[in-house]
Amino acid sequence: MDYEKIMQSNLDRVFGERDAARRIAAVRELYTEDAVLHEPHRSAHGHEAILQAVTELLAQLPPKFTFTAIRPALG
């Protein structure tokens, strides 16, 4: 399993994608239907909830903000 490729896809295609239609397509490809995204003050269960959580996060950030990995992913 290529953890680096999966995590970079997650950064680019989910957390870095401002278009909701492309973002949900990536969520459906990268996450299982019962996936859970844990945040400091809540957890999002399933594709739609993860999409909503990421949408809300991106709405709080400047339009040109990008997430960047600080080191390679480990698995």
Average pLDDT, whole number, for the chain? Answer: 94
Number of domain units in the chain:
1
- Closest-CA residue to 54 (of 39, 33, 41, 64): 39
On the question of pLDDT at 75 being above 90, the answer is no
pLDDT in tens, 41-73: 999 999 999 999 999 999 999 999 999 999 988
Domain assignment present for residue 72? The answer is no
Residue 51 lies in a domain: yes
- With respect to residue 13, please indicate whether it lies within any of the assigned structural domains: yes
> What pLDDT, on the 0 to 100 scale, is given for residue 74?
80
Q: Does residue 68 lie within any of the structural domains?
A: no
The number of beta carbons lying within 10 Å of the beta carbon of residue 54 is 21
Tell me the percentage of the chain whose pLDDT exceeds 70.
100
Q: What is the pTM of this model?
A: 0.88
Question: Does residue 73 fall inside a structural domain?
Answer: no
| 33 vs 73: which has the higher pLDDT | 33
**Which residue is listed with tokens 């993860």?**
50
Q: What domain range is 54 assigned to?
A: 3-59
